[in-house]
């Protein structure tokens, strides 16, 4: 690998190249829930999810989309000198809404002249053609990059059942295929240290995302929150969490098998520190990120180094000179 080439495809660098300057996501918190919490597909939600979902750093959902965007836009302009933004519907399942409400929220987010994209976090079982057609239409009409963030967590469907996800791998594949029929992009969320996954699952995560040609991935380390099913299991000692060093090695392995074109939006997440029982081995997310990058350097390895499993690898190995 050339010495000047980054060892993985960094999201902030990608945005600068694509839009010619600093781009920041403005989080939006909608009033809502998910089908795994209200009893539509399951009971109680995912075992790791608490009352606030992923929106613990968001403004309250009682504020309008316009009010949240204005407040966050002002903050990021002052702190980071940003002048281009992506509206980010972050917490819970943002397509799990009546269609008219969904339209209203998206159109409100698309109105700003400094907006270059819209990112919508949702579940694979809440993707339908009608909603996707609308997003595709608005993206082309407003010249916005539209991406769907799919919470998958793992390709191991046995683990998906263990965490009470409410869907398996099939719904995810169906959602990806439907999204890719439009001018929409896909970001997939994964947790690389679920207690029921092993290094084989880590590799298969990378291989399936590469084969499906998604555009982005967000990696998370598992955090454990009080007053959740997972929190109660943790306090009873029903599972253990791998050491930090093993998580670092899992991320490195994942990157090695991941296609080099896929953009890494995140290597490790942050937990709600006021309610957490376990988060990032007691160190900051930034320190975990630094350890991963240092390990890549130490091993002199990089994203895509082992991505040699697509396009008929056995045939190419047996007959390397065939056209």
Question: CATH no. for residue 219?
Answer: 3.20.20.70
Ranges in the chain, pLDDT < 70: 1-4, 51-58, 322-323
* 3-class secondary structure, 142: helix
pLDDT at 81: 84
Residue 195 has a pLDDT of 95
Domain count along the chain: 1
The pLDDT tens digits for 7-19 are 999 999 999 999 9
Query: What is residue 117's predicted lDDT score, i.e. its pLDDT?
Result: 97
145-153, strands of its sheet edge to edge: 23-28, 84-89, 115-122, 145-153, 185-191, 216-220, 263-266
Dig out the tokens for 18 from the structure.
């694509």
DSSP state of 164: T
What pLDDT sits at residue 270? Answer: 82
What's the whole-model pTM score?
0.94
276 lies in which domain range?
11-318
CA distance 119 to 266: 15
The answer to the question of residue 99 being in a domain is yes
Determine how many CB atoms are found less than 10 A away from the CB of residue 78: 9
Residue 6 lies in a domain: no
Q: Does some domain include residue 223?
A: yes
Q: What are phi and psi of 85, to 5 degrees?
A: -140, 155
Phi then psi for residue 158, to 5 deg, are -65, -40
State the Cα–Cα distance between residues 281 and 277, nearest whole angstrom: 10
Give the C-alpha separation, 299 to 305, whole Å: 12
Report if residue 187 sits inside a domain: yes
Has residue 152 been placed in a domain? yes
Other beta carbons less than 10 A from residue 320's beta carbon: 7
Per-residue pLDDT, 57: 59
pLDDT in tens, 257-280: 999 999 999 999 887 777 899 999
Per-residue tokens: 59: 């403004």
Residue 4 counted as domain residue? no
Residue 55 pLDDT = 47
- Per the listing, tokens 């398996």 go with 168
Residue 30 is assigned to a structural domain of this protein: yes
Exposure letters 120-142 (e unless 16+ CB within 10 A, then b): bbbbbbbbeeebbeebbebbeeb
pLDDT at 242: 97
Does residue 265 belong to any structural domain of this protein? yes
pLDDT score recorded for residue 38: 84
């Amino acid at each position: 690998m050339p010495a000047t080439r980054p060892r993985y495809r960094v999201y902030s660098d990608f945005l600068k190249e694509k839009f010619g300057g600093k781009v920041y996501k403005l989080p939006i918190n909608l009033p809502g829930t998910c089908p795994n919490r209200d009893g539509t597909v399951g009971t109680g939600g995912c075992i790791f999810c608490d009352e606030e979902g992923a929106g613990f750093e968001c403004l309250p959902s009682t504020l309008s989309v316009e009010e949240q965007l204005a407040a966050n836009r002002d903050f990021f302009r002052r702190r980071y000198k940003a002048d281009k933004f992506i509206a980010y519907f972050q917490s819970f399942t943002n397509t799990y809404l009546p269609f008219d409400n969904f339209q209203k929220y998206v159109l409100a987010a698309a109105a700003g002249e400094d907006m270059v994209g819209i990112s919508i976090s949702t579940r694979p079982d809440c993707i339908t053609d009608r909603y996707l057609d609308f997003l595709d239409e608005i993206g082309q009409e407003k010249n916005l990059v539209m991406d769907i963030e799919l919470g998958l967590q793992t390709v191991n469907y046995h683990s998906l059942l263990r965490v009470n996800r409410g869907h398996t791998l099939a719904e995810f594949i169906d959602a990806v295929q439907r999204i890719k029929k439009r001018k929409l992009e896909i970001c997939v969320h994964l947790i690389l240290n679920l207690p029921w996954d092993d290094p084989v699952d880590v590799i298969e995560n990378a291989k399936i995302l590469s084969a499906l040609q998604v555009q982005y991935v967000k990696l998370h380390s598992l955090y454990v929150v009080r007053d959740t099913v997972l929190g109660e299991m943790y306090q009873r000692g029903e599972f253990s969490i791998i050491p930090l060093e093993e998580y670092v090695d899992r991320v490195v392995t994942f990157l090695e098998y991941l296609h080099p074109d896929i953009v890494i939006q995140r290597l490790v997440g942050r937990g709600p520190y006021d309610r957490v029982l376990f988060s990032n081995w007691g160190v900051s997310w930034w320190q975990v990120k630094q350890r991963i990058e240092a390990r890549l350097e130490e091993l002199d390895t990089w994203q895509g180094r082992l991505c040699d499993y697509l396009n008929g690898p056995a045939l190419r190995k047996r007959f390397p000179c065939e056209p």
